[in-house]
Amino acid sequence: MDGGQRRMSIDNEKVQLPISPKALVVHDPSLNQGGQINSPVFAANRDPMQNGSAEAVICNSKKLEDAMQEIGLKIKHHEDNVKFLKAQKNRLDDSILDIRVVLGKTHSASETGSENKESSNGQNEEETIEQILSFDKSAASICVQLQKHTGTQITHIPFMKDMIGIIALLGKVDDDNLSRTLSDYLGLETMLGVVCKTRDGLKALETYDKEGLINKSSGLHGLGASIGRPLDDRYLVICLENLRPYAGKFIADDPQRRLDIKKPRYLNEETPPGFLGFAVNMINIDTANLYCVTSTGHGLRETLFYRLFSHLQVYKTRADMLQALPLIADGAISLDGGIIKSCGISSLGEREVKIKFPKSSGRPPNVPENYYETENRMKELKWKRARFVDDLQREQTLLDHAKFNFEIKKQEFVKFLAQSSSYVSAPQFPAGGERSTPIS
């Protein structure tokens, strides 16, 4: 390709270089009277950079740009792979956590390092009932006493027909440490709270005279007095009809209708170490209370327990919980007794739990018959996760290596541009101080 063709090629590529033709100078003797070059001395005396001329600068620049572009494509490829593998690993993490909750695979006291002075087997429902009855002048004790001894004979009483039960008896848990910490988080007043369905049932629990004083002969006060358990203390009542239910989705194919709540994650998409799940999903609810408890078709999990626990996170240890503080918005608990009520508010000191949730007996309620198949499924998910972690580490290594190579090429390109700019911007004077004439 001759010089004219090379110049045409450059024009076609529309490459603009910071080279001014007027800045190039030659010796007078090399020019004839018409100003034409009659000797190859100019080209022969230039350095390698000069010998390459503008076309060489463009060629070298193009090579470096192509190399950087190729490495950039590799970086994009590895970044896409890393993003995909992280998403798959996170999906498996979520599935494993959900299955662990379904199977009741929380960690025992020995695993958390806590000293459990109480029975490691927890307490059954009868023991919880006996503890409630020990508060003989409480609303919870009166309700339990009435339900225990009179059964269906009190269904004609408006508020008893509308009543669902006592909070402490409306759910069960699989681990005694979890039971104690959840109960401690809620507090005694809430654990002894009365739950009713409608506003009418709430109104029927207590009536007032014209002066606004409580009518002790009607409602729950009247029933308490009739069985020798006068109601003297204030008590908590939760009306499901007044609660705003959970509006999200449920975990697919879960017989306990657990809530599909987004797991906490760091910026690198990792779940915090020791995170076990959400408290609202760790309560096992009887089948009768899972569906259509309210007139709008909502069960206890998305109404009562979502109101009590919201997005309360559960961790294995206090250390895990404190490490995850940046991700905790609605409080957290740990199996060894740590409690964060809300952002900036913690509960410290010795705990005294008088009323606990009963422990689930044997296999958690409503778990499918293919229980062991579900366990095998979790093992399979863990195996897949391990493979994804290996692939992720390999792709991350390749990505880091590609980024390193890109930086090397980038530095070479910057250095090349600096050298080229220095050459084309400096006037070239002939040796011996002879007068030079610029090429127009």
pLDDT of 81-101, one tens digit each? 888 888 888 888 877 777 777
Residue 429 reports pLDDT greater than 50: no
Which of 294, 307, 283, 354 shows the shortest CA–CA distance to 164? 294
* Least confident residue range of 149-158, 219-228, 351-360: 149-158
Q: Are 110 and 177 in contact (CB under 8 A)?
A: no
What's residue 28's pLDDT?
A: 41
Percent of the chain surpassing pLDDT 90 = 22
38-57 burial code (b ≥16 CB/10 A, e <16): eeeebeeeeeebeebbbeeb
Name the residue among 308, 303, 277, 307 with its Cα closest to residue 290.
303
CA gap 277, 94 in Å, rounded: 9
Q: How many CB atoms lie within 10 A of CB 228?
A: 8
Give strand pairing partners of 166: 194
Domain boundaries, the chain: 22-103+401-440, 104-366
pLDDT digits (tens, 9 = 90+) for 325-343: 999 989 999 999 999 987 7
Beta-strand pair 436-438/275-278: unpaired
Q: What is the mean pLDDT of residues 58-66?
A: 79
What pairing do the DSSP bridges indicate for beta strands 339-342 and 332-334? antiparallel
- Determine the Cα–Cα distance for residues 257 and 301; give it in Å rounded to an integer: 8
**Higher pLDDT, residue 273 or 5:** 273
pLDDT at 239 over 90: yes
Residue 60 main-chain phi, psi, to 5 deg = -65, -40
Helix (H) or strand (E) holding 275: strand 275-278
The average pLDDT across 213-231 equals: 82
Q: Per mean pLDDT, which range of 58-67, 303-312, 319-328, 389-398 is the poorest?
A: 58-67
Write down the pLDDT at residue 305: 96
Beta strands in 85-216 (DSSP E): 163-166, 194-196
Q: What percent of the chain has pLDDT over 70?
A: 72
